Structure 1
Amino acid sequence: MRPLLPVLALIALAGSAGAQVADLVDRSALRVCADPANSPMSDKDGSGFENRIAELLGQALGRPVRYTWFPQVNGFVRKTLAAGECDLVMGYAQGDELVLNTNHYYVSTHVLVTRPGDPLAAVERLEDPALQGHRLGVVVGSPPATYLARGGLMKLAKPYDLMVDRRVENPAGQMLDDLQAGVIDGALLWGPIGGPLAKARGLSVMPLVHETASPKLWYRITMGVRQGETDWKHEINSQIRRNQEAIDRILVEAGVPILNDYGTEPKQVAN
């Protein structure tokens, strides 16, 4: 989830003439703002899968990638993209009004992470009776928390924080530590975070693609540009379209569960 930005800040930014807004885009480099400690998505050492996708786009555009690092806490967009410190932010859910969304470049869902060989590894829905009596890790305020509350599973659940400075806190890593230590029996995480982390630890991952109740657990993920910069958005959209297969391969290699455009089943990715 992304921090909120006062609407007036974006109105003020977009209120200028279109050409003036577009002039903020640096054509000599692909300027990206990202969290320096948000592994497996972004990391200052360049190891995150979003770093790899940014490098792919930079090569396609013929520009070096230049980062402005800022933790994804309150004020992230205001102090980075809206302040003109960068021209692109990776990983925004479609419809997020803080930015002007590009076309989506992948679709993912929340996952249930379990220990290999555990009977819960076969659970495909959060309404499955097999989850009753088990302690699950869940991020406070995340969509899976609603399902646990509705199913009477919250009384045994262990909550983990949502908005943290990843330079000093790591809720997803702690949740998986607890899973491996037997403190919890299953971990509910956003797929682009849980999938790669679980892959690195040899844990089992079940994408939750069969839920039909609300809230939905899957989202189309876009890149974000400043409001009003439609030409720049179209340019990024073109690069996403041309490089979609390479983007898919980066995501799959990282362990991100990617779905079809409707979030109903895993996407078939060309080798």
Structure 2
Amino acid sequence: MKTSTRIVAALALGFGFSTVQAEQPVLKVCTAENEMPYSNKNGEGFENKLAQYVAEQLGRKLETVSWTDPRYFIRDYLDKGLCDVVMGVDAGDPRLLTTAPYYRSGYVFISREKDGLDLQNWDSPALKQAQRIAFAPGSPAETMLRAIGRYNDMFNYQQELAGFKSKRNQYVKYDNDKLVNEVASGKAEIAILWGPAAARYVKASATPLTMTLIPDNAKRADGEKVGLHYSTSIGVRKDDSALLGQLNKIIKDGQDNIEALLEAEGIPLLDQPETAVSMN
């Protein structure tokens, strides 16, 4: 009889343990299925690693929810409750609540070390002399190339980079590793990219490359400022202020760990503006 009692008790404890395991809280993070170096379905991007760190600090199990098209994922995934968190959004994005920034970076000029190009700003002679400049359409790089009169010169080259895909009704992706490799291989003299998007490939290049942060003082032809430095945050749904508070604490307490991860990626980091620091 005592043996039977022990067996029943053991089974009860076992079921209790299984229930605890099954009820372990989950953090659902929206990530791109294939947008390296940020994230992919194999968890190889730096935002995948940051998401894992955040989940661990929250005491939750990480669950990734992948999207393929960046144009609608907040509306179709986050807002519908398919995920709880979005990594890597602009600080202050009006579509969601954003944390205090966890890093700030900027656009960069990329060139081969052996070419010794003096690339300091948009007035640099190397920009006027280059035959080919790689950049992503719709970015501040395009705006500034228009401002300095080099955009039309690059039109045919840009079509080559896109693989002659039609832009109508589809998302056309310009792979960051391909754009960096255009410079490494000598097909282009210069690339102008968002630093965090380029850093991994600049660091891994067999051809030594130089990456120079562009000053944040650029203006369009009409005198309007063109932003080149941006702060990056984590986003949550507008009704989830409790999770926002938890994430802000993780960013504040774990800033050294987060910066170490980003520096290992080779990302050029900038100091946060005073307004962003005060949010912490």
Q: TM-score, normalised by structure 2?
A: 0.77
The amino acid that maps onto 2:111 is: T
Identity %: 29
Contact 1:34 1:67 in 2 (8 A): yes
Query: Aligned pair in 2 of structure 1 residues 76, 126: CA closer, same or farther (>3 Å)?
Result: same
Please give the alpha-carbon distance, in whole angstroms, between the structure 2 residues aligned to 1:261 and 1:139. 25
Distance 1:203 1:165 in 2: 29
Aligned-partner SS, 1:80: helix
Match 2:185 to one of 181, 185, 188: 181
Which is worse superposed, 232-241 or 93-102?
A: 93-102
In structure 1, runs of 5+ residues without a counterpart are 1-25, 264-271
- Equivalent runs, 1:102-113 vs 2, <5 Å: 102-113=99-110
As a proportion of its length, which structure holds more helix? 2
Greater radius of gyration (CA) = 2
Encode CA deviations 1:241-262: one digit per residue, 9 max, x unaligned. Answer: 1111100000010011110113
Cα pair distance change 1:261/1:27, threshold 3 Å: farther
1:231/1:203 CA distance change after superposition, 3 Å: same
Matching of residue 37 in structure 1 with residue 43 in structure 2: no
Give the distance between the partners of 2:33 and 2:209, measured in 1 at CA. 25
Counterparts of 1:118 and 1:262 in 2: how far apart (Å)? Answer: 34
What residue is the counterpart of 1:237 in the other structure? 248
Q: Distance in 2 between matches of 1:63 and 1:52?
A: 14
Give the root-mean-square deviation of aligned CA atoms.
2.3
The one-letter code sitting in structure 2 at the alignment partner of 1:188 is I
Q: Could you report, residue by residue, the CA deviation over 1:13-60 in whole angstroms, capped at 9, with x for unpaired residues?
A: xxxxxxxxxxxxx98012101002111111221121111111111111
Classify 1:222/1:156 alpha carbon distance in 2 versus 1 (closer, same or farther; 3 Å): same
Deviation for aligned residue 1:78: 1.6
2:55 aligned residue: 58
Counterpart amino acid of residue 32 in structure 1? V
**Partner Cα separation in structure 2 for residue 27 and residue 81 of structure 1:** 21
Q: Secondary structure at the match of 1:107?
A: strand
Q: 1:234 to 1:164 in 2, by over 3 A?
A: farther
Partner of 1:19: none
* Mapped contact 2:38–2:45 kept (Cα < 8 A): yes
Judge conservation of contact 1:102–1:223 (CA < 8 Å) in 2.
yes
**Structure 2 equivalent of residue 200 of structure 1:** 204
| 1:131 equivalenced with 2:142 (yes/no) | no
**What TM-score, normalized to structure 1?**
0.80
Which amino acid counterpart does residue 205 of structure 1 have in structure 2? M
Cα distance in structure 2, aligned partners of 1:244 and 1:72? 30
Query: Which stretch shifts more, 131-140 or 234-243?
Result: 131-140
SS in 2 for 1:33: strand
2:65 aligned residue: 68
Question: Aligned residues, how many?
Answer: 235
Q: Name the CA distance, whole Å, in 2 between partners of 1:164 and 1:142.
A: 17
1:161-182 CA distance string (max 9 Å, x none): 699768xx54322222322332
Report the CA distance shift for 1:138/1:170 in structure 2 as closer, same or farther (over 3 A).
closer
3-state secondary structure, aligned to 1:117: helix
**Residue 146 (structure 1) aligns with:** 143
Residue 246 of structure 1 is aligned with which of 239, 245, 257? 257
**Contact (CA 8 Å) 1:73, 1:164: kept in 2 or not?**
no
Q: 1:236 to 1:210 in 2, by over 3 A?
A: closer
CA distance in 2, matches of 1:239, 1:85: 23
Q: Indicate if the aligned counterparts of 2:217 and 2:226 stay in contact, CA closer than 8 A.
A: no
Q: Indicate yes or no: 2:94 matched with 1:97.
A: yes
Q: Which runs of 5+ in 2 are unaligned?
A: 1-22, 220-224, 275-280
Report the Cα distance in structure 1 between the residues aligned to 2:236 and 2:230, rounded to whole angstroms. 18
- Structure 1 residues 164, 136: closer, same or farther in 2, change over 3 A? farther
Task: Assess, with a 3 A threshold, how the Cα gap between structure 1 residues 165 and 52 changes in structure 2: closer, same or farther.
Answer: farther
